[in-house]
A and B are shown apart, each in its own frame.
Chain A
């Protein structure tokens, strides 16, 4: 069974930091490209960041570039998102999402999400 389990969310004050983790099981993690996607309360999906399966390529949404850092540890089957200088508008459920194209079949798995609340 495939599982992606996010952790590390919580309530923080503006300007503070948080580190989200996503633990993967049931997949060959090193094959999968990974994304962080967030969803503010009552709003739509917003892509946050991407990392290639080897960890050598990363992309960020303009709204988080320079404040957030995505990383992964393939030996630990884990994905991370270091979030610094948090703002109220970063309040959202953060999902880790995995994707892999085998050449003939596409695999796409999401975690259940972790809530980040930025408020004073």
Chain B
């Protein structure tokens, strides 16, 4: 049972901007860093964003992260066909003493 809530799907046309939300609570997003992962079918998740809004080396600056209170967002600008994937947010939960993942969002490029 996922503790972080994401929309099941998001879509956009090439070149446009898509935003994925991640809603949590004071025990997770509200008090800990948020991480974002991209998972292509049949592959392991790949880190897209760490510490709310930091991009690892190699991740295009088309990807950006933000957080406010108990919610976080991942934005993909200049949408490209290779961005079609599943996206997950994650954060440590102090009440559960564990890592919690979002429900996942499927991004489709129309």
Chain A positions near chain B (C-beta within 8 angstroms): 35, 37, 44-47, 50, 59-62, 95, 97, 106, 108, 110-113
Contacts and interface: CB of A to CB of B under 8 A. Distances in A.
B100 interface: yes
B50 A108 contact: yes
B98 interface: yes
A47 B33 CA distance: 16
Given A50-B98, A59-B97, A61-B98, A44 B103 contact: yes
A60 B39 CA distance: 23
Contacts, number: 50
A79 to B, nearest CB: 15
Q: Which of B56, B96, B99 has the most CB of A within 10 A?
A: B99
Interface of A, helix, strand, loop or mixed by DSSP: strand
B11 interface: no
Contacts of A106: 47, 50-51, 54, 56
A110 B40 CA distance: 13
B53 to A, nearest CB: 12
Given A44-B88, A110-B45, A60 B98 contact: yes
B24 interface: no
A23 to B, nearest CB: 15
Interface of B: 2, 35, 37, 39, 43-47, 50-51, 54, 56, 88, 90, 96-104
A99 to B, nearest CB: 9
Chain B binding surface, main DSSP class: strand
A113 B65 CA distance: 27
B88 A59 contact: no
Given A44-B103, A45-B104, A106-B51, A111 B98 contact: no
A108 B101 contact: no
A46 B4 CA distance: 11
Given A95-B45, A108-B47, A110-B44, A44 B2 contact: yes
A106 B51 CA distance: 9
Contact of B99 (A35, A44, A95, A110): A35
Given A59-B97, A59-B98, A45 B56 contact: no
